């Protein structure tokens, strides 16, 4: 019976047995809850945006103006942020640090993942497990000893303190993700190349890497976002105002004790979020499928 119905209505084929539900029932069980989720999950962003373009007079006057809307949108907060604070510098710092940490981690992770997954050196399994465990070590228990080390190495208050410490959480993650990806590349390709006399290095650069570009992109986006969002190391290891990253700068430099510049704060939060949001919107499908290593075939 079910099969016949499916043939008759090919448009519902994908949803499995969704057609067994009536429309009113679907509204209550699916669309209404979904709407609630979307509203709750997106409201802070809406509120961020509306505050960032609100003139100060409207921001604190809930009697005359409806706070959910803006009557006279203004760019004054964004202008203040871009021209009267160190914000552009923080953006640049964050871009430089995130890019450097991402490339460093990706390079190390590609080699490590290939070695663990394909070279199968003795102890590869144990090393793979160790890498997984390394991912579970949180920055919150490392920042105190790391701050001591960073100080002794003379890296305190330099971008290198962050570029060298971010790989501690990026490498395990990227290695783990790439191991899954390399596993999906057929062994036979490598065997053919080996018989043709290719070296391991040639196999990696000419066969494995070109085939795993989607995996590399996902790992790169992950790593970039994680570095962009990192807070506790950046807060601890960087002191000078002009060397800070966006999350730390916005929180420690824009928040003055007397009056909160809510407009500028929200503009800072919004602009600081945009790069990662844009990055994700392009690659969200990759991202969802690679998240659990469940690469669609």
Partner 1 sequence: MAVPSVAVQRRPSILSRLAESRNSLGFGFMLPAAALLLVFLTYPLGLGVWLSFTDTRIGRPGIFIGIENYQYLWSDGVFWLSVFNTVLYTVSASILKFALGLWLALILNQNLPFKSFFRAVVLLPWVVPTVLSAIAFWWIYDSQFSILSWALQQMGLIDHRINFLGDPTNARASVIAANVWRGIPFVAITLLAGLQTIPQSLYEAATLDGASRWQLFRYVTLPLLTPIIAITMTFSVLFTFTDFQLIYVLTRGGPVNATHLMATLSFQRGIAGGQLGEGAAIAVAMIPFLLAAILFSYFGLQRRRWQQGGGD
Touching partner 1, residues 101-140 (CB under 8 A): 104, 107-109, 111-112, 114-116, 119-122, 124, 127, 131, 133-134, 136-140
Choice from 30, 57, 192, 213 touching partner 1 (CB under 8 A): 30
Options 232, 241, 253, 286; binder of partner 1; rule CB under 8 A: 232
219 scored as a contact of partner 1 (CB under 8 A): no
**240 touching partner 1, by CB under 8 A:** no
Decide: is 269 part of the binding site for partner 1 (CB under 8 A). Answer: yes
Rounded least distance, CB 252 to partner 1, Å = 10
- The H-assigned helical ranges of the chain are 2-8, 23-26, 32-52, 56-59, 76-84, 87-114, 124-135, 139-152, 159-165, 167-183, 187-195, 200-202, 209-211, 213-229, 232-237, 246-253, 262-291
Nearest distance from C-beta of residue 154 to partner 1, angstroms: 15
195 near partner 1 (CB under 8 A): no
List the structure tokens of 86: 């160190």
Which one among 5, 27, 45, 75 touches partner 1, defined by CB under 8 A?
45
The answer to the question of residue 276 lying near partner 1 (CB under 8 A) is yes
Least separation in angstroms between residue 90's CB and partner 1 is 12
In the shown chain, the binding pattern of residues 277 to 296 toward partner 1, with x for contact by CB under 8 A and - for none, equals x--xx--xx-xxx-xx-x--
**Candidate residues 76, 160, 200, 217; the one interacting with partner 1 per rule CB under 8 A:** 200
146-175: which residues touch partner 1 (CB under 8 A)? 146-149, 164-165, 167-168, 171-172, 175
The structure tokens 């790169």 sit at 220
Q: Which of 27, 231, 239, 242 lies at the binding interface for partner 1 (CB under 8 A)?
A: 231
DSSP collapsed to 3 states, 191-245: HHHHHCCCCHHHHHHHHHHHHCHHHHHHHHHHHHHHHHHCCHHHHHHCCCHHHCC
Strand, coil or helix: what is 43?
helix
End-to-end CA gap in the chain: 30
State the minimum distance, in angstroms, from the CB of residue 67 to partner 1: 6
Can you state the angle between helices 262-291 and 246-253, rounded to 10 degrees?
150
Cα angle, residue 277 at apex, residues 276 and 283 outer, rounded to 5° = 90
């Amino acid at each position: 019976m079910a099969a016949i119905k499916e043939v008759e209505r090919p448009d519902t084929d994908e949803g499995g047995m969704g057609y067994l539900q009536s429309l009113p029932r679907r509204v209550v069980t699916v669309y209404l809850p979904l709407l609630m989720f979307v509203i709750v999950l997106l409201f802070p962003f809406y509120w961020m945006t509306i505050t960032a373009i609100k003139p100060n007079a409207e921001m604190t006057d809930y009697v005359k103006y409806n706070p959910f809307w803006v009557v006279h949108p203004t760019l004054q907060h964004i202008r203040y942020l871009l021209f009267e604070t160190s914000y552009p510098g923080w953006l640049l710092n964050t871009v430089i640090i995130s890019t450097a940490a991402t490339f460093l981690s990706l390079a190390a992770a590609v080699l490590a993942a290939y070695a663990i997954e394909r070279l199968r050196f003795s102890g590869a399994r144990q090393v793979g497990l160790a890498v997984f465990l390394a991912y579970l070590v949180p920055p919150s228990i490392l920042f105190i000893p790391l701050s001591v080390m960073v100080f002794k190495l003379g890296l305190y208050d330099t971008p290198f303190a962050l570029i060298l410490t971010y790989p501690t959480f990026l490498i395990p993650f990227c290695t783990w993700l790439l191991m899954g990806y390399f596993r999906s590349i057929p062994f036979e390709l490598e065997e053919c190349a080996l018989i043709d006399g290719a070296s391991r290095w040639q196999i990696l650069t000419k066969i494995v890497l070109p085939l795993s570009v989607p995996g590399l992109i996902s790992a790169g986006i992950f790593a970039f976002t994680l570095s962009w969002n990192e807070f506790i190391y950046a807060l601890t290891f960087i002191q000078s105002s002009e060397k800070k990253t966006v999350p730390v700068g916005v929180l420690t430099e824009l928040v003055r004790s007397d009056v909160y510049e809510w407009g500028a704060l929200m503009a800072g939060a919004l602009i600081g979020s945009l790069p990662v949001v844009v990055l994700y919107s392009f690659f969200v499908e990759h991202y969802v499928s690679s998240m659990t290593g469940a690469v669609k075939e």
